[in-house]
Amino acid sequence: MKIAIKHFIHGALESARDAGELELSPFPEILVEKPKDEKMGDFSTNIAMTLAKSERKNPRAIAEIITRYLSNVSDDLSEVEIAGPGFINVRMSQDFFLQRLRNAVSQGNNFGQTDVGKGIKIMIEFVSANPTGPLHVGHGRGAAVGDALARILRKAGYDLSTEYYVNDVGNQMNFLGRSTWLRYKELLGENIEFPDDHYRGDYIKTIAKEVVDLKGDEFLSQSEQDCLPYFRKFSKDTILGGIKNDLADFGVTFDNWFSEESLYEDNSVEKAIEWLREQGHIYEKDGAVWLKSSAFSDDKDRVIVKKTGEKTYFCSDIAYHQNKINRGFKKLVNLMGADHHGYVPRMEAVLEAMGYDKKIFKILLVQFVSLLRAGEKVSMSTRSGEFETLTDVVNEVGVDAARYYFLMRSSDTHLDFDLELAKKEAPENPVFYIQYAHARICSIFRTAEEEGVVWNRSAEIDLSPLVDEEEYAIIRAILAFPEVVEKSALAMEVHRISHFLLDLVSRFHGYYSRHRVVSEDKSLTLARLYLLDALRITIRNGFELMGISAPEKM
């Protein structure tokens, strides 16, 4: 929509230049925005103010010149005026909006789709929680944000893949296997001493029980060394399976699950080290192998092979990201918990060492979630916390509310998640406020049908009965949707969608209370239904990006 306006202004500027009234060298970037107050106009530009300096004229004088040329550039412009220090406010004809409204409706589920992404191949990696225990609420936020972002980027025209990186090697896997093994022996009556640094959660006991059910006591006679591989694999597979299930229940699926172990199996890690060595980015000190990351974005060098000969997590991460690039991804996005932010510079250093601009790599930090119950903080400690897992929260408040709460705030601010509020079906809960609007619209359509109104989406409906300013306010809001998606994608900020929907829907609720849709006036009824259909499509598409359902009845 704004592109059209930009185009008009561009034309006016060119005419002004050709007539010698403006110099315009270089030709300026045109910014079109919505005025502060809708009463001031449909669109506004500050172009006259930004030109003030280079043209050596005062902004209002420049605005007057532009306005003169703008007036006859298109019939769609119904009003052009100068305001304040030099803003040019324009108002568009009803036809301009109605035509675009029809266009939106005809796009249906695709409405909102844009092509800013230009088909660029991009990967977003998120959650990637270690398979050593169930997902907790923090992972839940990461999952919701990553999944929504993926949907938004697709909608914005990127060629997107999602991936979950499974850290299935290393010491933690040994601890995991050993934890299960110990619980297994305990179940079979042996006395054990359970170390503090092992996984103490009850889920380990559940897994041990499964081993007992499957294998009986056959491992009792074996040495730890012999049976550990089995326990390690079984525990990992079980937990990973649980994670996949939890995520699926939460509406989150991945295009690919990438195993860290596979990087060792195909020698990628070794090759990556060799390669870095050839590039001269590696040296040895104190019996360990170091990456000279301080030569790049990092503030110190990092160990990649310990003096014990074991590779660090960071080491396989190098191979992993090399692998991503080799698969042809032009942009890599990683979501991480904010507590890992110290990791960012060294990863950027890796990309730079590989010879890439660190701009192709974007790490989004997702801040912590505080779980509240009626305003009181719920303990998150592993021992006492009853509502710490994602599944528990989803079971209590539902998928829609949980996802909404994770997505409603900018992900770089701490989130207070109030369980009581999230499951409350009340006005102060924005999820239901938006869903209710959708259900209400559907209800109006049911009423219309009962009243014998014949309606179908593809029929050529006369929209001229739409004259109310409130109706145009809704239309303008609907038509802004593609721009919201676009901005949301470029800024990688998911919360914009929920704010957009909230604003959109509150206009509708107000409109609803003041206007009757289904009435004696046939043509007015049809035109208004058409508008509500567009609105319904927009709400649905917006919710789709958030992974939230749009119920037809509530």
Partner RNA sequence: GCGCCCGUAGCUCAGCUGGAUAGAGCAACGGACUUCUAAUCCGUAGGUCGAAGGUUCGAAUCCUUCCGGGCGCACCA
Binding part of the chain for RNA, among 118-126, 210-218, 333-341, 536-544 by CB under 7 A, reads 333-341
Interface with RNA, residue 409, by CB under 7 A? yes
Q: Phi/psi at 526 (nearest 5 deg)?
A: -65, -40
Distance separating alpha carbons of residues 94 and 473, to the nearest angstrom: 11
Strand runs (DSSP E) across 271-412, as ranges? 282-285, 288-291, 302-305, 331-337, 361-366, 369-373, 376-377
Q: How many residues bind RNA (CB under 7 A)?
A: 90
Q: Answer for the pair 362, 510: CB distance below 8 angstroms, yes or no.
A: no
Assigned token pair, 421: 């509020």
Interface with RNA, residue 517, by CB under 7 A? yes
**Closer CB to RNA, residue 277 or residue 509?**
509
4: left (phi over 0), alpha (psi -120 to 50) or beta: alpha
Binding part of the chain for RNA, among 97-105, 231-239, 365-373, 542-550 by CB under 7 A, reads 365-373
Contacts of RNA in 195-254 (CB under 7 A): none
Interface with RNA, residue 432, by CB under 7 A? yes
DSSP assignment string, 418-434: EHHHHH--STT-HHHHH
Assigned token pair, 490: 């470029």
Distance separating alpha carbons of residues 177 and 207, to the nearest angstrom: 10
- Binding mask 133-172 toward RNA (x if CB under 7 A, else -) reads ----------------------------------x--xxx
Interface with RNA (CB under 7 A), residue from 495, 533, 534, 547: 495
Contacts of RNA in 73-92 (CB under 7 A): 83-85, 87, 89
Residue 25: other Cβ atoms inside 10 A: 8
DSSP reduced 3-state for 306:
coil
Contacts of RNA in 457-486 (CB under 7 A): none
**Closer CB to RNA, residue 211 or residue 369?**
369
DSSP reduced 3-state for 325:
helix
Distance separating alpha carbons of residues 204 and 180, to the nearest angstrom: 6
Binding part of the chain for RNA, among 67-75, 99-107, 156-164, 441-449 by CB under 7 A, reads 441-449
Binding part of the chain for RNA, among 108-116, 214-222, 325-333, 427-435 by CB under 7 A, reads 427-435
**Closer CB to RNA, residue 186 or residue 416?**
416
* Cβ burial, residue 553 (10 Å; 0-12/13-18/19+): exposed
Interface with RNA (CB under 7 A), residue from 439, 455, 468, 544: 439
Q: Answer for the pair 553, 443: CB distance below 8 angstroms, yes or no.
A: yes
What single-letter amino acid sits at 424? K
Interface with RNA, residue 296, by CB under 7 A? no
Interface with RNA, residue 312, by CB under 7 A? yes
DSSP reduced 3-state for 66:
helix
Interface with RNA, residue 452, by CB under 7 A? no
Interface with RNA (CB under 7 A), residue from 277, 327, 509, 522: 509
User: Which residues on neighbouring strands pair with residue 88, listed in sequence order?
Assistant: 45, 82
* Cβ burial, residue 328 (10 Å; 0-12/13-18/19+): exposed
Binding part of the chain for RNA, among 204-212, 219-227, 309-317, 395-403 by CB under 7 A, reads 309-317
Distance separating alpha carbons of residues 113 and 99, to the nearest angstrom: 17
Interface with RNA (CB under 7 A), residue from 25, 37, 384, 460: 37
Q: How far is the CB of 509 from RNA (least distance, A)?
A: 3
Q: How far is the CB of 367 from RNA (least distance, A)?
A: 6
Interface with RNA, residue 514, by CB under 7 A? yes
Interface with RNA, residue 343, by CB under 7 A? yes
Interface with RNA, residue 307, by CB under 7 A? yes
Interface with RNA (CB under 7 A), residue from 8, 15, 22, 46: 46
Interface with RNA, residue 36, by CB under 7 A? yes
**Closer CB to RNA, residue 183 or residue 528?**
528
